[in-house]
Amino acid sequence: MSTHHDPSTDLTTRDGAPLPERFEDPGLHEHRARVGDSDPKAQKRAERQVVVLFAISILGSIGAVVAYALVPPGETVGSMRMSNLLLGLALFLGLAGIGLAAVHWAKALMNDHERAEDRHPTATSEPVRVKAVEALREGVKDSSIGRRGVLKGAMVTSLALFPLGIAVPLVGNLGGDWDVSASKRTLWRRGVRLTIDPSGRPIKASDVTIGSAFHVIPENLEEAEHPLDEKAKAVVLMVRMDPRDLKSEQGEGWSYDGIVAFSKICTHVGCPVALYEQQTHHILCPCHQSTFDASDSAKVVFGPAHRPLPQLPITVDDEGYLVAQDGFDTPIGPSFWERLT
Amino acid sequence: MSTVDSPPAPASRTTRAAAATADYLDQRTGVGNAVKEFARKIFPDHWSFLLGEIALYSFVVLLISGTFLTMFFVPSMTEVHYHGPWAAMDGVQMSEAFASTLRLSFEVRGGLLMRQIHHWAALIFMASIVTHMMRVFFTGAFRKPRELNWLVGFTLMILGLLAGFSGYSLPDDVLSGNGLRIADGVARAIPIAGSYISFGLFGGEFPGMELIPRLFTVHILLIPALILALIGLHLLMVVLHKHTQYPGSGRTDKNVVGYPLFPVYVAKAGGFFFVVFAVIALMAATMTINPVWNYGPFDPGVVGAGAQPDWYMLFLEGGLRLMPGWEFVIGQYTISMNILIPGVIIPGLLFTVLALWPFIEAAATGDKREHHVLDRPRNAPFRTAFGVAYLTSFSILVLAGSNDLIATHFHLSINDITWTFRVLFFVAPPLAFWITKRICLSLQRKDRELVLHGHETGRIVRFASGEYIEVHKPLDAHERWLRVQHEPRRPIEIEPAEDSRGVRRKGYRLDAAKRRLSKLFYEDRVEPVTPAELVAAQSHGSHDALPLAPEEHREELTAGASGSRHLAPEPEDTEGTQRH
C-alpha cells in the first residue's frame, strides 16, 4: 500500500492491455500566471521599477561626463585611481540601469507564455537534393571539365602556385638576415670588462664582498648595433663565495678568488635567473624554478632545465677590474636543434 | 497580457512613421521575409545558455575598448626616455609602446579605465568561452547535427588564446617581455625549424625591433577579423539548427519550446549585453589589473618573482614547470623533451581530443540521428566522467603554473609542491574519472528509486496486522518524465567476423574496434524505468494483481543486456528499499 494511485499518474494497465515500452511525454506544463498578470497594481509597480532603472542609467551617464570633466588622473597613483573609480562607477550605473531595466521589463511585463515551434530535419528533402545534384551535374557538363584532364590539371596547378608570389617574399623577409648562428655569439671576449647592469660601471674584484651577487653586462654593450638584442644574450650573474665552498667550475681557473660568473639566461626557456640564495649558493629561475648550484659548476639541482648555466671565465686586469678571460665556450640560453653544430 | 488582446488602436504618428520606414526598406531589400521568419523565432530559456552570450558580449566590449586604446597606443619598439607625470619612471629608457601605455594610464582621461575594461573583458571572454564549452560538452549539445559548430567554437577558443597572448604582450613591460622570451624558448625547441621560427617571429634575434608592431597587426586586425567571421558562422548555425533545449515535459527532438526572439529575447539578451558590460566596467573601476607602471619596461636582464601569466595561459606555464629536465642529443642535434612535451605535445593532445570528441562519441554510439534535447550529465556517465578527468588534468596544470605563489602563501617547499603535482597529474584524472562515473551511476539509481517508489512523505501508517509502512507519494507525470525520458544507451552490436559459410567479413576489425570503444562507453549503465517496471513496483507494494510482471521484466533485461553488466536494481531489492 505504499503507492497511492492518484488518477493523474496512474498507468492504464489494469484492463490487461499491453504496456508501452516507454513512458509517454505528458506534454507542456500548464502556464503559471505571475502576480502582475492578474493584479494591475503589481503591474504598475513593475513598470515604475523599470522606469527608475532607466533613470539611474541616465544619471550614471551624466555622472560619467561630470567625472571626466572634474577629476583628471593627476600625477599620483592615488589621484589616478580616484579618476578611474569615479568614471568607472558612473559608466557602470549608466550600463547596469539599461541592462536591468530591459531584463526586468521582459520578465515582469512581457507576455510569458511559452510556445512550441516545430523543428525540421537539418538535411534538405529528397526532391531538393535530387535537384541540387542535378544542378551541379549540369554545371559540370556545361563547363566540360570532366572531359578535359589537362585543363583541369593546369587550373589546379596555377591556383596552387599563385600564393607563392605573396608567401615567398613575406616569409623570406620575416626573419631579417636569417643568420640564426648569431644566437651562439655574445659580446664577451678576452679582456672585456664586467660592468654593473644598468649603470655600466666597471667592477673591482676587491669591491665584491663574499655572499654578494652582481647583475653584470659587458662594458661595450651600448656601442653594439642592437644593444637590447646583445643584452638579451650577454647578461651575467656574478657571485662571490668563500673559495673553500667552491666545489667545481666548468673550466680550471675560470673563477677569481671565489668570484664566479654565469650566464643569466636560463638554459630552460630563457628567463633571467635572477634569484641568488647565498647560504646554499643556489641560483633560482623565478619563471619555472630551475635551480642551479653556483658552487658546483651551476649544475641543475631541481626543475625543468637540463644543462648547467654556461660559466664565463673571468680574471682581473692590471687595474684590478674584473674582465672576461674569454667568451662563453657554449651557446647561452635554451637548447635548440643545432646548438652543438 | 493586455497588450496581446487589445484591439488595434488608431495609427499614431510613430506607428505611421515606422510603417513608412518598413515599407521603404522592404521595397529595396525585401527584408519582410527575414522579419517574418525570425521576429517570432522561438528560443528556449536556461541560465546556462547565457554563458555563450557572455562570450559574445565581452567580445563586443573588447572591440569597443580596444578601438579606444588604438587611438593612443603606439606600437613601436623604438627606445625613448620617459618624461611624464609618473615620477618613478622619470628618465627611464623604454620602448614607445611602454611609454604610450604609461601615457594611456596617467594622462588620457578614462584611458586607465579602458585599459582595465579591455583586460578584464579579455579574461572574462576566455572564461566564458571555456565554461560555455563545458556546458556544451556535459549536456551533449555537440551531437549531430552540431558537430561542425563544435569545431567552429573550438577554433574560436584557440583564436581567443592567441588574441589574449598577443594583446598581453603589447605594453612591452617586464612581465609580458619575459612571457615572449618563454615563447621564444618554446619555439626554438622545435626540432630542425626552431631557430628559423624564432627568427621569423621576431624578425631576427630576440627581442629585435619588429615584434610589437607585428603583434599589433595580428592583435587588432587578423585575429579579431577571424573571430568576428567565425562568430557570424557560429550564430548562423545556431539559427539553422535552432537552439537545443533541456529535457522536460513537452520538449522533444522535433520541437523547440521557449519564448519569441521579438520582444522577449531582444529585451533579455539586449539587456544582458548591458549587464555584462556593466559588470566589466565595475571590475575595471574597482580592481586594478596589470599595473605596468609598477613593473617597468622590458629589460632582458630583469625578472619579477611570483610572476603569473593571465589565467588561460597558466596551463602551459604549469606544464613547463612540472616537466623534469629531459633533453637528449642525437648525433649533433639537440632535442629538448623538457620543452617539447609540455609546450607542444601535451597541449596538442589535449586540444586534439577536445576537437575530435563529437566524432569519437559518434563512433561509440553508432547513432546517426539528430539530437536537440540535451542530456542530463548523469545520463552520460562516461562522457561526464571523461570531461571531469579532462578538467582535472587541466586544473592541475593551472595550479602548477602558480606553484611559486602556493609555496609563498602556504609556506610550503616549492620542490614538494612540484613533486606533488607531478604525481597528481597522473593519478588525479583517473581517480576523478572513476569517482564521477560512480556519482553519475548513483544519481541515475536515485532517479530510478524515485520513479519506482515516489517521494518519502514522512507519514507512517500502521495496519491492523501491526505492520508499519511509510507512505510514499508517487511522482507526478512531469517529475517522472524528466527521469525517464532519456533513451538507454547500450554498446553497439556488430555482425560476426565470419558469415554463415565461414568467410571472413571485410571491415570486421574496424567494427570490432568500434564495439570495444562502445563497450568502454556504455557497458556500465543504469537504464531508465520502463512502464512495466513501474507497474511491477506498484503491484508489489499493494500485493495486487500482475504477479508475473517481475518475472517477465527480468527476462527482458537479460535479453536486452546481451552479456554486459547491468546495473539496474533487481526487483527483489525494490521491495527491500520500499519497506524500510
At B257-305, the pLDDT tens digits run 999 999 999 999 999 999 999 999 999 999 999 999 999 999 998 988 7
Residue A164 in any domain: the answer is no
Q: Return the closest-CA partner of residue B272 out of A96, A166, A83.
A: A96
Residue ending a domain, choose from A108, A124, A148: A108
B140: helix, coil or strand?
coil
Query: Amino acid letter at A58?
Result: I
**pLDDT at residue B556 tops 80:** no
Quick one: B344 and B478 in the same domain? no
Residue B39 in any domain: the answer is no
**pLDDT at residue B15 tops 60:** yes
> Given an 8 Å threshold on Cβ–Cβ distance, is A229 in contact with B186?
no
Which chain A residue lies closest to B373 (C-alpha atoms)?
A: A119
Q: How far apart are CA A298 and CA A292, in angstroms?
A: 5
Residue B19 in any domain: the answer is no
CATH number of the domain enclosing B100: 1.20.810.10
Residue B15 in any domain: the answer is no
Judge contact between A299 and A292, C-beta under 8 A.
Answer: yes
Q: Give pLDDT tens digits for B40-84.
A: 999 999 999 999 999 999 999 999 999 999 999 999 999 999 999
**Residue for cell digits 536486452?**
B560
Quick one: B342 and B464 in the same domain? no
Q: How far apart are CA B397 and CA B315, in angstroms?
A: 5
For residues A8 and B204, which has the higher predicted lDDT (pLDDT)? B204
Domain that holds residue B63: 47-299+324-375
Quick one: B224 and B369 in the same domain? yes
Quick one: B328 and B460 in the same domain? no
B15-54: burial string, b at 16+ Cβ within 10 Å, e else = eeeeeeeeeeeeeeeeeeeeeeeeeebbbbbeebbbbbbb
CATH number of the domain enclosing A195: 2.102.10.10
Q: How far apart are CA A269 and CA A266, in angstroms?
A: 6
**pLDDT at residue B577 tops 80:** no
- For residue A270, give Cα distances in angstroms to A249, B329, B341: 22, 19, 17
List the grid coordinates of A160. 596552387
Quick one: B210 and B354 in the same domain? yes
Q: How many domains does chain A have?
A: 2
| Residue B574: other Cβ atoms inside 10 A | 21
Q: How far apart are CA B561 and CA B540, in angstroms?
A: 24
| Residue B146: other Cβ atoms inside 10 A | 24
Res A47: pLDDT? 95
Q: How far apart are CA A38 and CA A106, in angstroms?
A: 17
B254 touching A, CB under 8 A?
yes
Res B503: pLDDT? 85
For residues B546 and B3, which has the higher predicted lDDT (pLDDT)? B3
> Given an 8 Å threshold on Cβ–Cβ distance, is B267 in contact with A102?
yes
pLDDT band at B120 (very low <50, low <70, confident <90, very high): very high
A169 touching B, CB under 8 A?
no
List the grid coordinates of B114. 579602458
Judge contact between B364 and B356, C-beta under 8 A.
Answer: no
Quick one: A103 and A191 in the same domain? no
List the grid coordinates of A338. 643545432
B536, burial (CB in 10 Å: exposed 0-12, middle 13-18, buried 19+): buried
Judge contact between A197 and A216, C-beta under 8 A.
Answer: yes
Which long-range contacts (C-beta less than 8 Å, at least 24 apart) are formed by B14-20? none
Quick one: A214 and A299 in the same domain? yes
Mean pLDDT of B460-486: 92
- For residue B262, give Cα distances in angstroms to B15, B478, B510: 17, 29, 49
User: Pairing mode, if any, of strands B79-81 and B42-43?
Assistant: unpaired
Residue ending a domain, choose from A108, A139, A155: A108
pLDDT band at B531 (very low <50, low <70, confident <90, very high): very high
Touching B: A residues 50-79, CB under 8 Å: 68, 72-75, 77
A20: helix, coil or strand?
coil
Res B3: pLDDT? 46
Sequence-distant (≥ 6) Cβ neighbours of residue A63 within 8 angstroms: A86, A89, A90, A93, A94
Res A77: pLDDT? 85
Bridge partners (DSSP) listed for residue A282 = A277, A293
Residue B262 in any domain: the answer is yes
Quick one: B242 and B127 in the same domain? yes
Quick one: A202 and A91 in the same domain? no
Mean pLDDT of B339-363: 95
Res B560: pLDDT? 36
Residue A168 in any domain: the answer is no
Residue ending a domain, choose from A68, A92, A108: A108
Q: Return the closest-CA partner of residue B118 out of B272, B289, B255.
A: B289
Residue A230 in any domain: the answer is yes
Q: How far apart are CA B240 and CA B35, in angstroms?
A: 15
Residue B140 in any domain: the answer is yes
Considering chain B, what is the average pLDDT of its residues?
A: 90
Q: How far apart are CA B43 and CA A116, in angstroms?
A: 9
B559, burial (CB in 10 Å: exposed 0-12, middle 13-18, buried 19+): exposed
pLDDT band at B187 (very low <50, low <70, confident <90, very high): very high
**pLDDT at residue B390 tops 50:** yes
* Crossing angle between the packed helical segments B531-542 and B571-578, to the nearest 10 degrees: 50
Residue B314 in any domain: the answer is no
Res B558: pLDDT? 36
Res B9: pLDDT? 58
Judge contact between B455 and B472, C-beta under 8 A.
Answer: yes
Q: How far apart are CA B201 and CA A178, in angstroms?
A: 11
Sign of the alpha-carbon torsion through B309, B311, B315, B321: positive
Quick one: B429 and B460 in the same domain? yes
Judge contact between B551 and B510, C-beta under 8 A.
Answer: no
**pLDDT at residue B395 tops 60:** yes
Res A16: pLDDT? 57
Judging contacts by C-beta atoms under 8 Å, the chain A residues touching residue B182 are 269-271, 287
Mean pLDDT of B147-167: 97
Res A236: pLDDT? 96
B286 touching A, CB under 8 A?
yes
Q: Give pLDDT tens digits for B90-105.
A: 999 999 999 999 999 9
Residue ending a domain, choose from B351, B375, B399: B375
Residue A253 distance to chain B (closest CA, Å) = 26
Domain that holds residue A94: 35-108
| Of A25, A183, A300, Cβ closest to residue B249 | A25
Quick one: B365 and B476 in the same domain? no
Quick one: B350 and B478 in the same domain? no
Residue B544 in any domain: the answer is yes
Residue B35 in any domain: the answer is no
Quick one: B248 and B212 in the same domain? yes
Q: How far apart are CA B551 and CA B549, in angstroms?
A: 5
Res B7: pLDDT? 55
Q: How many domains does chain B have?
A: 2
Residue A305 distance to chain B (closest CA, Å) = 5
Res B569: pLDDT? 45
Residue ending a domain, choose from B308, B343, B375: B375
Quick one: B537 and B523 in the same domain? yes
Residue A289 distance to chain B (closest CA, Å) = 7
> Given an 8 Å threshold on Cβ–Cβ distance, is A118 in contact with B204?
no
Quick one: A191 and A311 in the same domain? yes
Quick one: B151 and B287 in the same domain? yes
Residue A159 in any domain: the answer is no
Tell me the CA end-to-end span of chain B in Å, nearest whole number.
50
| Residue B383: other Cβ atoms inside 10 A | 23
Residue A123 in any domain: the answer is no
| Of B4, B205, B342, Cβ closest to residue A183 | B205
Judging contacts by C-beta atoms under 8 Å, the chain A residues touching residue B192 are 337
Residue A59 in any domain: the answer is yes
**pLDDT at residue B124 tops 70:** yes
List the grid coordinates of B541. 507494494
Residue ending a domain, choose from B375, B392, B418: B375
| Residue A202: other Cβ atoms inside 10 A | 17
Sequence-distant (≥ 6) Cβ neighbours of residue A299 within 8 angstroms: A292, A293, A308
* ipTM for the complex shown: 0.91
**Residue for cell digits 549585453?**
B273
Q: How far apart are CA B367 and CA B145, in angstroms?
A: 11
Mean pLDDT of B3-17: 70
**pLDDT at residue B200 tops 90:** yes
- Taking 70 as the pLDDT cut, the residues of chain A under it are 1-17
In chain A, DSSP finds a helix count (H) and a strand count (E) of 7, 12
Quick one: A193 and A299 in the same domain? yes
Res A148: pLDDT? 85
Percent of chain B with pLDDT over 70: 91
